Amino acid sequence: MKSIANLEWRYAVKKFDDQKILEQQKINILKQAFNLTATSYGLQPIKLLIIKNKSIQRKLVDHSYHQQQIVQASHLLVICIDTNLKESDVEKYFERVKEIRKTPDETISSFREYLKTVITEKSSQDLILWAKNQAYLAGIIKQLKAKGIRTSIFVDADVQMIQGAKETGTDRIELYTESYAKEYSSNPQKAIEPFVKAAEMAKKIGLGVNAGHDLSLENIHFFSKHIPDLLEVSIGHALICESLYLGFQNVIPMYLERLKF
């Protein structure tokens, strides 16, 4: 696998050859790759600063644990984070979404208001920490998709979380069904409502829907009957427990029968 070979090739550089200059074509590729990096909610609270100025690079050595590679390299790439993310940044992002994707305001308004709440409720330190850890999931998903591997993100039945999952580039979501299982016995209709809304949103924005956690022979038929286009279910604990009494050879066909409607 080329991606694995590329990752294994890396090593810590102790000294750069200051006679070698990184070609502009490669710089452009790095810039484009950075610009295409997915982040949580799509806000991209990060910037890439490319420095090609020996005077500035020398000044930065003192702020980089005195590593001489900072000044030896032909280019210095600095990833900067936004330490003062505001509601106005959210507004700018959604104006850009409407401009580029032609998305109607009624489609994005609820997600926009949700993000404003998220931003205003976080402390400045929380926002900085959040900004520092943006691209980790998207980077992994890019590697998986490059190899044709289907990806699915485990999420709550929350419309905003599902919209955020879309920004990572995942193929599917898997709905975390613990709350449904807990409430099913007392009020099945109330228990299923948030999952129906979540599945409808996923379908609307082009995500496949899986589900799992605490689904059982008792509650799975009602769940699958009400969730549009349910693709897969993950069943572990309940299936094992039920099989202790009924046997695998009986339980698995029972699940398959309950998934028909």
Domain count of the fold of the chain: 2
29-59 residue pLDDT tens:
888 888 877 676 778 888 889 999 999 999 9
Q: Which segment of 20-29, 60-69, 111-120, 211-220 scores lowest on mean pLDDT? A: 111-120
Decide: 214 and 181 in contact? Cβ < 8 Å.
Answer: yes
The answer to the question of residue 116 being in a domain is yes
Q: DSSP code of 83?
A: S
155-181 residue pLDDT tens:
989 887 888 788 778 899 999 999 999
Decide: 211 and 234 in contact? Cβ < 8 Å.
Answer: yes
The answer to the question of residue 139 being in a domain is no
Decide: 40 and 33 in contact? Cβ < 8 Å.
Answer: no
Average predicted confidence (pLDDT) for the chain:
87
106 shares its domain with 163: no
6 shares its domain with 126: yes
Which residue range is the domain that position 71 belongs to?
2-131
Tokens read off for 107: 């489609």
Tell me if residue 138 falls in helix, strand or coil: helix
57 shares its domain with 166: no
Percentage of the chain modeled with pLDDT above 90: 43
Burial of 153 (0-12, 13-18, 19+ CB in 10 A): buried
210-237 residue pLDDT tens:
999 899 999 999 999 999 899 999 988 8
54 shares its domain with 162: no
| Rounded Cα gap, residues 244 and 112, in angstroms | 48
Q: Of 131, 165, 197, which residue constitutes the final position of a domain?
A: 131
Greatest mean pLDDT among 40-49, 98-107, 132-141, 158-167 lies in: 98-107
**Domain containing residue 178: CATH number:** 3.20.20.70
Q: Of 131, 159, 181, which residue constitutes the final position of a domain?
A: 131
Q: What is the 3-state secondary structure (H, E, C) of 38-106?
A: CCHHHCCCEEEEEECCHHHHHHHHCCCCCCCHHHHCCCEEEEEECCCCCHHHHHHHHHHHHHHHCCCHH
25 shares its domain with 55: yes
